[in-house]
């Protein structure tokens, strides 16, 4: 008998949640709806939702198809391993960016900011956002 940790309740496995968040982030970066991605894979948008939430595990063959449909290598869906030599500061930064880019606001803000070509305007926007973040409601 193999000793495996038991899942408590119906909480998704953290790895499945991570893979799902990467699927969602890449899909949004490409501007694809869940329905369009589902069509590319021959599955329903509901199945895409379950993958993205981590409630359904993505099998190996489906993950390969997902990487083809989203135009990324399979390794895109997994965090860098500890053996790769990444520092905890780099890992924290990567996690922060992934969390930010997994939100629709993060993607929208990034897309809009990138379209601003004037460096002075970009700096002013950063200053404005910093000021707004420091402003505490009374």
pLDDT band at 92 (very low <50, low <70, confident <90, very high): low
Q: What's the pTM value of the predicted model, to 2 decimals?
A: 0.61
Rounded Cα distance between 63 and 69, Å, is: 10
DSSP 129: H
Report the 10 Å Cβ neighbour count for 15: 13
124 belongs to a structural domain = yes
Together in a domain, 108 and 74: no
Q: Is the per-residue pLDDT at 130 higher than 70?
A: yes
Name the domain boundary from 43, 78, 113: 78
In this predicted model, what pLDDT tens digit does every residue of 2-58 receive, in sequence order? 444 444 567 888 889 889 988 998 888 888 999 999 999 999 999 999 999 999 999
CATH number of the domain enclosing 73: 1.10.260.40
DSSP 31: T
- Are the CB atoms for 27 and 70 separated by under 8 Å? yes
| Six token digits for residue 120 | 């002075």
92 belongs to a structural domain = no
């Amino acid at each position: 008998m193999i000793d495996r940790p038991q899942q408590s309740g119906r909480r998704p496995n953290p790895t499945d949640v991570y893979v799902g968040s990467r699927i969602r982030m890449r899909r949004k970066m490409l501007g694809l709806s869940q329905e369009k991605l589902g069509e590319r894979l021959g599955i329903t948008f509901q199945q895409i939702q379950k993958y993205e939430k981590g409630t359904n595990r993505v099998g190996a063959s489906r993950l390969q198809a997902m990487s083809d449909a989203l135009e990324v290598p399979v390794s895109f869906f997994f965090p860098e391993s500890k053996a790769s030599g990444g520092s905890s500061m780099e890992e924290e930064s990567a996690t922060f960016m992934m969390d930010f880019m997994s939100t629709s606001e993060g993607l929208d803000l990034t897309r809009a900011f990138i379209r601003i070509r004037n460096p002075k305007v970009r700096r002013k926007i950063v200053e404005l956002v910093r000021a707004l973040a420091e402003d505490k409601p009374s």
